[in-house]
Amino acid sequence: MPVVDQQQNYKLLSLTESDGKTVMKFQRSIEACDENDLPITNLPMKLIYAYGQNDDITYHSTRRGTKELNLLKYMPRVNPPNSQYFDMTMVNFTVPAKQTHYHCKIMRAPTFDRKQHIYRIEPVITNLDLVHHLLLYRCPLTVTEPLEAECYTSFRTNLCMETIAVWGVGGGAFEIPEVAGLPIGGNVEDFFYRLEVHYNNLNKSADRVDNSGLRFYYTSELRQHDAAVLGTGLVTAPWYAIPPKAKSFLTYGMCDTAYIPEVLETPHDLQVFSVMLHTHLAGRKVRVGHFRGGKQIDFLAVDENYDFEYQDVMNLGKTKTVKLGDKLLVECTYNTENRSTLTWGGLSTSDEMCLAFLFYYPAMNLSGCMSFPNTTTLRSEMGTNWLNLMSNKIWNDTSINQYQQTLKRIDQLVIIADSLNNISRNTGLIPDLSVIPSAPCMGGCATKSLALLSLLLCLAVQFMQKYY
C-alpha cells in the first residue's frame, strides 16, 4: 500500500456513484507548499488512479491507470453536428515472430465530394501487448497504388512522409481545438495514406493477428483553419550513439524555422496547440525550448517524468505562436546505467529516438524540421575511426560528459523537408536551455477548486474499459 501523506493538502467536496461511475470533486492549492506534493502548473500533468471492486480500501490489483491532462486549461470534448467516422487499420495482419517490426500499409482514404474536417482521432488497438505506436502519413500524388510491406524496405513506402496523425502506447483519443481540423477530401488530389505500425513483440510470439489502426471522426461543418503535424527533433540515424552507464545523457535536435522559405513559397507562422513527445526505453525527460532573437522565450512542452509506457498527445491548453525565424530545440535526457554497450539511434525499442510532433494551424506543406551533429566535424574532433573507438571506449562520468559536450558544441545540420521530399540543408549551433523556474512557496497559497468531476474515474475508467 502507498505511504499516507502526513500533510493532507486537499479538501473533499463531494463523492458520488451513479450508473457505474465514481465521481470525486476536491480542491487543493495550486502550490501546495509541501515537498511531497507537485505544484499544479499550466503544463500537461500525468494523473494516476486506482480503484477497488467495493468500498473497502484494499489492494487495487490491475484496476489502475494514468491520464494526462492540463488541469488549468482543460479542453472538453466537442461533438460537432453531422459528424461521422472512418477507420484506417491493418486487416488480419500476422505479426512476425521477431522483437521489432515496422509494418506499413498504403491505402486510399474514403472519398468525399467536398472537404471535411477531422476533429477527433481515436486508437483502435487489438493487441495492446504488441502495438507500440502508430503513425499515419499522407502520400504525394505520385503514389497511386496500394501497398503493404515492411516499412523502410521499399522506395514507395519512403515517399509518404507528411505526418497526419500519431499515437503512442498508453495514449488515448485526441481532440483538435474547435478553430481547426485536419482536412480530407473535396479536391482532385485523391491522396493515398501510409499507416505505419510499430510492433514490439518482446516474446517473439508467432501467429498473432492484428487489426490495429486509427479511427477518424469528421464533420462537414468546416472550421476556420486546416490543421497539420510537423515532426521536429533529432534525425534518427544509426551512427548516433548514446554511451552506456550514463545516469543522465542529453541529446538535442533543432528546428530553425528561418529556413522554411527555402522549401515553401508562402510560409507563415505556426499556431501550435498540441505536442507529442517520443523516445524509447532509455528516455527519462523531454523538453522543447522556444527561442526568438537568440533568446529563449518559453518552453513549448516539458515532460520531466517521461514514461515509455505512456505516450500521449499533450494539449497545451492554449495556442503558442511560433514565428518564422524562431528556433525550437528538442532536448532528450536518457538513462543507460543498466546497459553495458552503446545505444544507437534506430527504430527498435532498444535503440533510441528524440522527437516532438507539433500539431498546429494553419497547415503548411511540411513533413519535418530536424537536425543532427555534422559528421564531418565529428570525425575531425574524434578521429576518422571514431565509431570503432566508441565501442571500445571506457565509459565513466568524465568520458560521458566530454562526449555529450562535443555533440552539443559542434555545428549541426538542419534539415527541413516538404511532403514531396524537397529538402533544405543548413547549419546551426545548439543554444542553451534554461532551467524551468519553480514557483515560490508563499504563505496563504491561493487555492483553486479542481472540479475534476468525471476526470479520473469517468474519463480514465471509460478509456480503460474501451481499450483494455
State yes or no: is 102 an active-site residue.
Answer: yes
Are 370 and 237 in contact, with CB atoms under 8 Å apart?
Answer: no
End-to-end CA distance of the chain: 24
* Given the residues 103, 278, 280, 290, the one annotated as active site: 278
For residues 26 and 13, the answer to whether their CB atoms sit within 8 Å is yes
Q: How many CB atoms lie within 10 A of CB 408?
A: 17
Of the residues 49, 101, 102, 117, only one is catalytic, namely: 102
C-alpha angle with apex 77: 51 to 45, nearest 5 degrees? 55
The three grid cell numbers given for residue 97, joined into one nine-digit string? 515472430
Question: Whose CA is closest to 128, among 64, 212, 196, 202?
Answer: 212
Amino acid at 458: C
Can 278 be counted among the known catalytic residues?
Answer: yes
Angle of CA points 430, 434, 437, to nearest 5°: 165
CA distance 94 to 106: 17
> Can you tell me the distance from the alpha carbon of 236 to that of 59, in angstroms, rounded to the nearest whole number?
42
Residue 330 · residue 235 · CB < 8 Å: no
Taking the C-alpha atoms of residue 309 and residue 307, their distance in angstroms, rounded to an integer, is 5
What are the catalytic residues? 102, 278
